[in-house]
Structure 1
């Protein structure tokens, strides 16, 4: 412990300057130290996040409570505390027989509705939620100074059916009372919890089957009964839905039940079929354990409700969501024009859309982002060379990065282009945008806006299939499990399709079984996917912070100044909103 205490000097510097390893510190602890620093935490001032809206009397709490009571004697004989957290590290229940020790934890805000996740307090036994393995954290191994007199042992609770982490069991004691046996005791309790969840899951499946039989009165009409893990369909539904649709249907059912919506709603399936769904909850006492979905395929004679994608205006690209369909329809209406500007967020697929519209003929591509390094004269010479070359359409990427003088010169060069040659440009902003004026953008009359991925999540199953097939190439087929699709559908995807593509390529390269599920996702992705959804105001705040950080190149001091807040306030908001800056490239 003395060696670990001395190694903490590494926390005084910047995260980027921390070495790969610290010999005195176990890798699982040191990796957590580095992540904590990258998230802007200070060992001298951390605070558990407070979440007043979480339900303490949850399904998990009711399973764990009787198991803890059977071990009450062991707890009463020791000065310790046993805690139950959800998958996000938020305390649901705490058992502390000793009032003095309870007061000590109260002063540290280790209380129900407070989060002790790594993103709030740094390294504690709650890192078992990220690693998926039991861990004992002792004294100075904690990231925060305030926990150095304590030790804590934690074990994740893995649902026996979904294999997803649903929470953790953590035992906290004084450092001087630390024993290696506390971890095995916690692991044994977590195993008992998982057995109880397995027994409960069997009951849930029976309830789903009973609900299915009660509603399946006419086999001609598609009917689905499902929860997060199980799906029961009649033959009519089986012909309609595909393997990836379970995730889409469950997300739809969760939203409908949460909003107490009983009226039919429109949903687009993975193959582009549009259906209307009437949702009814399946309950077990006060708990909603699943849903019954009555599905009706929308008639092809109802064009306003049917997927109205024009005939392949964007060949080689996939999508059937409302926003993507609107993009395709707009592209078809615009038709061939001399100049077309394609705008959208970074990574949304602007260049891919431009290349698709420029086909079927040959396409040449130039990137304005390189104009600064290659020089203005070289950029203009390349533009003129491409325009004077063979009969090819030209795509200019990132034209919003051109300075006003070069933008004006580029416009002059484009005006001299041969007749019939189309020019496509991509930009993050349109002609009317705040900030420095760009004369080239002002010349575009026809503008096509590519939606961000978060606004076309209905396309996620189709995109995953297409990107996976491209990554696999001639290799073995790789398929996505519904829980993996469902987890990814909960992310905001600030990097859009480019981030999704990078994730898919990494997962395909590591895949050995032919299937990718939620358990195969990287720890940081799984943590963000399981995090509570942000309210609308929080989403706006999170997006404003991420934009400020991007504009500042990741410099938190400049980002805080641009937002008009103190840097400490920025750190606090990053933690409260659950923003993971360690995996974001600015």
Structure 2
């Protein structure tokens, strides 16, 4: 900002010596010098303008609601003076501002400091929003201590707003004034504003949520294990859990909490990293939450530090397939229709290349032609031949296939069949001639792997690397029974990707039948019936809660409570 004469007042005026801050990067205070160094490393030029990119601002966020009355009060205090305040959120994005004069508001607007602008040090250098955000400490920035020359018309004091429950940065607020303003006075104004916002934030949490945070913080300080606390729509975790748990592990833990309400005890769990872990489960009762303390079952396991790439997660099925592929003999792969038998068979072939024969083609080609195809494939040296759906083969072809399995010629047969067909004597006999057997579990039994499966399908099969399916969406998918197994999951994800080709997929992006939170899938029959009745009444009344309550014969307050309980909107 350009230096222009500004009105002063005894309430805001005080002399600051030039030697306190130095000039243009020389003799800077340590905290300012460190910030200048970070800004320089980020590639910023002192003469450049603020980034003009605008982010979305959530006007209904908890921070905005808590800060609104405080900002209004500051606006009244600043009226008539060249003084203003800026508020940034937990991502250092400017979300609001209040100014004592219209001329100051216009000058800040010309600078580019408007709602939606990213104000981290990477984007805006040293200032009283970005530096407190980076350091989690209050900072006074004299006019010449700003890294960007365009900001050197004002002195500012900023302070982070630390959440009273999570101890994380909820936002940053700063006051800006003329170069002659007193740091002590600016500090007193901001300190009071921060305290008022923190008090307002406390009032937005209900008693149960506050109790959950308090219990988690107490346990976190006492334990060296990975600690995760799950309560309704809240998941809290410590730094250790980030080191050893993959996103899919959180889905598994939430599933355990839903399937075993009130349970306390210790279980063994295989993590997505492939390592075994001992998990101590504690039902808190009051507050209503479940605590998981996770530690590796062996003391020799090395925790992967943050910042170092974790090896690609593998499931037990992946390892079973890999072990079967290492054998020299034939392989039988069993599983329900749509469970991924063809995919598993393809993994066995070197380079994923194999000759595929499908028993369903016998009806179209005839037994003689199908048998000729099998014989030609077996005549090829060192080849992998996949015969799918062997339970559908006529007995004459099963006998011929059995002879091929007993042959010592240099080929490998990979058979696939439905799991329930295992009891058929002919199929059981063919399976017994195989050196390895792989059982593919139905998708409903692979909930811990669902996040990895979804990522593979979206990235590899649907070719949508720019799409990320969020944890909440994976949890919603995990609540489905998946009678069509992987085939059904692929169809659902293809529909989702068709509607959203990039960005985050949330629960709202899923087909309607998958939007029910996973915890609803575990409701007892009476609770589920009540939920379904409320949902039907809400649809019939087109969202009018007064009409819905009258139709159900319950009070509005009861309806509101049930809507919250069942996660209805």
TM-score (norm 1): 0.47
RCO greater where, 1 or 2, for CA within 8 Å and sep 6 or more? Answer: 1
User: TM-score, normalization: structure 2?
Assistant: 0.49
Larger radius of gyration, structure 1 or 2?
A: 2
